[in-house]
Structure 1
Amino acid sequence: MKASTSLVLVLALALAAPTTLSAPLSTKGSTPAAICTSDTCARAANEILHNRHPDYKKIDPWIHCLPQPCRFERLLTYLYHLGPNQTDDDIDPWGVKQREVELLSREILESPFSGDGSVTNQENFKQLQDAYAACMDETTTKKAGLAPLKSLLGQISKRNVTDMVLLLLENGIEALASISVAADERHPKSTAVYIGPYTTISSPQRTLSHIKGKTISYNPHTIKETDELLPQISISRIVSALGPSDFSTNRVIVRSLDFMKSLSQLINKTPNDTLHRYFIWRATEAYHGSFQYAGLEDSYQWWGQDRWKTCITVAQDTLGLTFDHFYAQKANFSQEAKDYADRIVGDVKDELKTALGRAKWINKAAQDEAIQKANIMRQHIGYSTSPDIMNADDLKQHYSGLVVTNSTFFDNTVNSGRFKVKKEWSGLGKPSDPNAWDWPPPFHITTVNAVYGTTENSFHLPAAACVMDTDPSLPQYISYSRTGALAGHEMFHGFDNEGVHFDRHGHAFTWKNETEKKLNERTSCFVKQYNAFNDPLSSSRLRVYGERMLPEILADTGGLKAAFAAWKKLDKENPDKAPPDLQEYTKEQLFMLSYASPWCARSSKMDLFHPPYDVRVDGTLANLRGFREAFNCPVKEPTCALF
């Protein structure tokens, strides 16, 4: 999910660098004509200057270019300086940004109201603060003890399985299976009932095994057929109980036939007492953070974080769109910034389509489908516009019926779960909303990340992930090298080695054998390139798994390539200014430094799906002609290319 292209080099490399400059930086490219003096420009410049090695002028960036000429790790030595007292957490770019978001969120929830002053806006804010305050009120929660939970558990008697599944589902708790309402993947303008494992059979990040079995996860059945597959759980009764009274459906999408059969067999051979205890466990697990009693450690401590941090999550989970309203205002993510981010994404998407159109190795049918897929790819930038989170009346209407107080934490949790279920099932029989900010928690406006959904063919770019880089006063090469590359990374997931096997509607798509062979030839170059970083001579401290990490590797390269091309085209029309104290660089060089500088961090934790930070920089920029030309590398041809 992360479109992180990081900047890292261990201190030993910096210390091992030569003491004389034998190959000065190239000045090839366009030099900024003026200086940008805004606060955001100064901040961007300070970031690069802070990360630059204090003796950068004495360091030859191009020495020891192994195995590729002009490997960026030499430039990392040139840029990167790790202070003696810094830890990995201190310099982890995602962690730093997320901590800033947490502190701002706490300030919002613990400060007096500040908004447009309307009565509705003040009421919305009070409801949000009440949700946070109830969570923070440990005294009242401890005093209540287990009584609220016992009241709920008392309803779980030894009745039939359908009764138990329905009771929990009405409270927003899944048990045995996931039964939900969502946009129909084959008919995206309508909604459908889905049933499948309540874990994750439809994760947006699929493995190749999931792709090859894609048709298995979409099996339309009548309600009668579904009941016959799993007779212990009456789907007909559940749909009737939860769906709108004025609408009926005879269609259910079964995610996995094997799962249904296995679950039926499991229920048949499980004693009733065991099933009863299972349902009690599911309810207790769902509410484990909302009750306390003597002898039980504060369950929030199990999460390994301060209570206020968890209570921020609770407030978001309860009234997420209301929270987003006040966060967007406090973080100064203006309509102008949102529009700018939309424009950046549009420009990058155009360049992605251009690249797809130039890929003559793809057969015509697959190429046309890929371009159409890019055309209709939905982008959710910043925050929800349906409902419009900047409209207090829309928010009031959206949460109509949800009861929240500042002293009943357990009841708030129960009410929130029930409200969400009613909201979800009320959409059955209605057209799906293409503009809804529908990505599930914990993905919020405050998430410092972005994500692409395969079956939805859409991606989300929250305000927190781009607010600092979409200030219109910033030079465009900064905004495009960061927000543009991040958005490009996510969009490219629709065309990586996994994404190409899905069409514009998220359906399975098969390439011709000849095109598939050419695809494999091109992607094998990336696998070989990244596996080579496991050589002992490389600076990487963590192992690289080229084949397993291939989707992220391709997205890094494809996203940055499209972002750079989009900026270059724009710069011809509207030349950029330079940040202060960085006039010695060309704009092309500043694009690369700006892109890399936020990722000045060390990879200390193993990630099986993303390469280590230093490898993501080395590998990605080795595949970008624009980088090689900007720094006058001896070899201009990229190491690997997909489109």
Structure 2
Amino acid sequence: MSSPGKVAPVSGGIDMSVPGAFAKVFQCCVNRENMDESCPASHDFYKYANGNWLTKNPIPEIYPAWGSFLILRDENEERCKNIVTSVAWEPTEAGNADTTAKLFAHCKTFYDAAMDEASIEALGLSPIQAHLDAAGGLATLEGPALAALVATAHKTLGANVLFGYGSTIDKKCSDDTIAGLGQGGLGLPDRDYYTDEDKADKREAYVKHIENMFSLAGIEGAANKAAEVMKFETAYASLQMTKSERRDVQKTYNIITLEELQTTIMSNFDWTLYLKTVHGLADDADVAASVGKICLSTVDALKSLSKVLSETEPATVAAYMQWKILHAFANHLSTPFVTEHFDFFSKTLAGTKEQKPRWKRAMGMLEGALGEALGQLYVDKHFSGASKPMALEIVESVREALKDRLNEVKWMSESTRAAAMEKMAGFRVQIGFTDEWPCFDFFDGKLSSTHIENIMYGNTFDWNRDIERVNKPTDKNMWYMTPQTVNAYYHPSMNLICFPAAILQPPFFDVNADLAVNYGAMGAVVGHEMTHGFDDQGSQYDAKGNMVNWWTEDDKKDYDGRVDVMKRQAEEHEVLGQKLKGDLTAGENLADLGGLKLALRALEARIGSEALRSKDAGVDGFSPLQRFFLSWATVWRQNITDDRAKQLVTIDPHGPNDFRSNGPLRNMPEFHEAFGVKEGDPMWKPVEERVDVW
């Protein structure tokens, strides 16, 4: 489980919201049966490539969306379930048998307790009642009482209360990991839910949800307390930074000391007690030295929180603390709490029709608490590593394409080009899984048949492991995703791209597929992550992962103007009447286009221009160039509920899937050539309106 509000350690995951059964779904990544050839490719390529699939694959009622990525995640979840429901552990690799046997026991104990609904129902609120009582007894906001409650909420309960605290790599000195502190504590998905006019119905439903949760917990005055909690959260939310504003890496880097935090940011909160508690320190005198410098990502928001607290009655903050505890444990309590939580957060906000079966929810809980332990078992059973050399070959060919592109761009001066080339050459690559698995001895003798106790142990383990990194040298080999995660990322402070084992399978990568299909999917994913090193955020970090300016003034001005073209293109796209946010989605949109262009360049370098365009070298009547683009569009096929689609426009830095498919292609003359797109067609962009960066 992640520490509440922890500073995000990575940039730009591809955001993907197999042998055996999976091969039946993706037996051919480019399949005419999935296409709608009645829709011209020049009008809507996403529909042309996926139209019949979209018609034949409605959203399962337990999900708010359904597409290529979610299908793979679903299959992967089955694999992991089969591991933990085995009667006994039979390792594939004899050399790690003792370790994996212990991890299997931990995972199985946790999963079995999460599946024991009878015990969970019988226990009711008792596992968290003492914490609810302590929060409800908050009588003053002066002194140590509030800080002590917040510390326990963060470290043990996993509750997103008031602010987020955890480790973060120092943006200007990537060799150091420091403390990170920033805004948090909201119950709705984003601060815009408290301010946007079109979300009034969601706010009303949220207040009713809080009231219902209080009533289920037997807390008196539920309606009044719910209204007060909403008033408190709204006052705080209105002063927080937006998601777009938080993409500014300069504004979110503010180094302060503990003394400055206490005297100039939030003087009415006992930071020494809070930090002593969450760091497990014995003496007040140890706090400043142990914590060291602190990066405050949202200065005004924390100052505003101090003001909001000073204007709020203790009883309201007590109710807020109780609400946040109930929210944190809602999915781990008896059926009425689980149902109420689902009805608001999944049904009302995202349009999901039915609750997931218990085993899927239990697997999600296991992933949160022991994800890397399960990952080690997953690797033992399902990742031979045979695909790794081929994946590395794609990575290096895309890197070479980026090198060629950097050498030829005319708008970049030689000094900037040299720095960019150094950064590109310094890209580190992680593929598959870590070579240094974490130690899980913390759980020895702790995990039991009581599910909520196990959840608290998981919270504490994750918190302690994160806090131990503060004020220490950065672990440059750390992984931020488990091997069973279907995703990828670029880490700007490490100048590193990562591809977990689970992404090295169809539809992203298939050892038996032709190069055009693999480059249109996996190659574009690789290029996507590399391009993040040069997007509107990544371009502010150098080859060593330090936030320094390596641009000339003229080059940066030219670059920003090119990025603005991408922002304008995004803002032309609407989702159910809501325009995309150009600033919020700029980085991901740049990475999609850059990744696709680099992957195509790498493919052409491998097979040659003539073969790339020859239908004789293709399959099913499509040239490799056409199959490259069809593979790209296939990756993004997805059906989604209206509620979920509107939610993502507000909170997601990625664009909707149809835009991710079609948006980059409008800027690529190779696509126009491949499918006969002409001026005036919907898939056409005039040359002067095309994005031209990487």
Tell me what 1:308 maps to.
359
Matched, 1:256 2:331: no
Which residue is equivalent to 1:434? Answer: 476
Q: 629-638 vs 499-508, which deviates more?
A: 629-638
The equivalent of 1:448 in structure 2 is: 486
Distance across 1 between alignment mates of 2:443 and 2:24 = 47
- Structure 1 contact 526–546 (Cα < 8 Å) conserved: no
Is 1:374 matched with 2:424? yes
The match for 2:237 is none
Contact 1:3–1:449 (8 Å) recurs in 2: yes
Pair 1:114-2:149 in alignment: no
8 Å Cα contact 2:178/2:293 also seen in 1: yes
- Residue 617 of structure 1, aligned match among 661, 667, 678: 661
Q: Equivalent residues in 2 for 1:197-216 (5 A)?
A: 197-198=183-184, 209-211=245-247, 214-216=249-251
Structure 2 distance, partners of 1:580, 1:133, is 53
CA gap of 1:207–1:94, structure 2 versus 1, over 3 A, is same
Q: Which residue of 2 aligns with 1:184?
A: 170
Question: Does the Cα contact within 8 Å between 1:145 and 1:291 map onto a contact in 2?
Answer: yes
Question: Quick one: distance in 2 between partners of 1:39 and 1:496?
Answer: 38
The code of the aligned residue for 1:235 comes to W
Residue 626 and residue 198 in structure 1: after superposition, are their counterparts in 2 closer, same or farther (change >3 A)?
A: same
Query: Equivalent residues in 2 for 1:222-621 (5 A)?
Result: 222-229=257-264, 230-241=266-277, 242=279, 248-292=290-334, 296=337, 298=339, 301-302=342-343, 304-330=355-381, 332-387=382-437, 397-401=439-443, 403-438=445-480, 444-454=482-492, 457-468=495-506, 469-504=508-543, 505=545, 507=547, 509=549, 514-523=554-563, 525-526=565-566, 545=580, 547=582, 549-571=585-607, 582=619, 584-601=621-638, 605=642, 606=645, 607-608=648-649, 610-621=654-665
Measured in 2, the distance between the counterparts of 1:633 and 1:285 equals 51
Go from structure 1 to structure 2 and tell me whether the alpha carbon gap of 1:179 and 1:626 turns closer, same or farther (over 3 Å shift): same
> Counterpart of 1:486 in 2: which secondary structure?
helix
1:47 Cα deviation (Å)?
A: 4.0
| Range moving further from structure 2, 486-495 or 139-148 | 486-495
For residues 124 and 454 of structure 1, do their structure 2 counterparts lie closer, same or farther at Cα, with a shift above 3 Å needed?
Answer: same
Residue in 1 aligned with 2:119?
140
Deviates more, 1:408-417 or 1:229-238: 229-238
What SS is found at the alignment partner of 2:255? strand
Shift of 1:411: 0.8
Aligned partner of 1:624: which letter? M
What is the Cα-based RMSD across aligned positions, in Å?
Answer: 4.3
Q: 2:58 aligns with which of 65, 87, 95?
A: 87
**Structure-2 residue corresponding to 1:537:** none
Change in Cα spacing, 1:291 to 1:87, as seen in structure 2 (3 Å) is closer
Asked if 2 retains the 8 angstrom alpha-carbon contact of 1:484 and 1:563, the reply is: yes
Are the structure 2 counterparts of residues 107 and 353 from structure 1 closer, same or farther at C-alpha, using a change threshold of 3 Å? same
Q: Which residue of 2 aligns with 1:164?
A: 149
What is the CA deviation profile of residues 484-533 of structure 1, one whole-angstrom value per residue up to 9, with x for unaligned ones? 11121233233234543455536264855533443355345556666777
Render the CA deviation track for 1:53-97: whole Å, top value 9, x for unaligned.
Answer: 59x6xx7967xxxxxxxx374796487535865435697222322
- Which letter does structure 1 place at the counterpart of 2:625? E
Going from structure 1 to structure 2, the CA distance change for 1:355 and 1:123 (only over 3 Å counts) comes to same
SS state at 2:387 partner:
helix
Deviation (angstroms), 1:100: 2.0
Closer, same or farther in 2 for the Cα pair 1:261/1:407, shift >3 Å? same
Q: Distance in 1 between matches of 2:154 and 2:55?
A: 53
Matched residue, 1:12: none
The 1-side partners of 2:46 and 2:369 are apart by: 46
Distance 1:44 1:581 in 2: 19
1:532 and 1:173 mapped to 2: Cα distance?
Answer: 38
Partner of 1:335: helix, strand, or coil? coil
Specify the alignment match of 2:255 in structure 1.
220
* Residues 60, 436 of structure 1: alpha-carbon distance in 2 compared, 3 angstrom cutoff: closer
The match for 2:212 is none
Give the counterpart letter for 1:621 in structure 2: L
Q: How many residues align?
A: 578
In 2, the alpha carbon distance for the partners of 1:228 and 1:613 equals 47
CA contact (8 A) 2:67 2:639 kept: yes
List per-residue Cα deviations over 1:462-496 (Å, max 9, x = no partner): 33333234443433332222111112123323323
Indicate the SS of the match to 2:539. helix
Query: Higher mean Cα deviation, 601-610 or 279-288?
Result: 601-610
Amino acid at match of 1:162: A
Contact 1:542–1:612 under 8 Å retained in 2: no
Contact 2:562 2:692 in 1 (8 A): yes
CA 497–169 in structure 1, closer or farther in 2 if over 3 Å, else same: closer
Q: CA shift at 1:150, angstroms?
A: 1.8
Q: 1:151 aligns with which of 130, 133, 152?
A: 130
Rounded Cα–Cα distance in structure 2 between residues aligned with 1:305 and 1:40: 20
* Structure-1 separation of matches of 2:455 and 2:267: 31
**Shift in alpha-carbon separation, 1:329–1:143, aligned structure 2, 3 A:** same
Q: Which of the two has higher C-alpha Rg?
A: 1
Check the 8 A contact 1:136/1:308 in 2, yes or no: yes
| Mapped contact 2:419–2:542 kept (Cα < 8 A) | yes
Match for 2:104 among 97, 104, 125? 125
1:324, distance to aligned residue in structure 2 (A): 1.2
Contact 1:97 1:448 in 2 (8 A): yes
The separation in 1 between residues aligned to 2:467 and 2:564, in whole angstroms, is 45
What's the offset of the Cα at 1:206? Answer: 8.7
C-alpha contact (below 8 Å) 1:5/1:617 kept by paired residues: no
Match of 1:51 in 2: 33
Q: Which runs of 5+ in 2 are unaligned?
A: 1-11, 139-143, 192-240, 347-354
| Identity in percent | 22
**Letter matched to residue 582 of structure 1:** V
CA-CA distance at 1:564 after TM superposition: 1.5
2-structure distance, mates of 1:197, 1:84 = 42
1:262-298 per-position Cα deviation (integer Å, ceiling 9, x unaligned): 22223333333333333333333322322328x6555
Give ranges in structure 1 of 5+ residues lacking alignment. Answer: 7-37, 63-70, 388-394, 535-539
Q: 1:231, 1:446 → 2: CA distance?
A: 44
Residue 356 (structure 1) shift: 2.5
Q: 2:383 aligns to what SS in structure 1?
A: coil
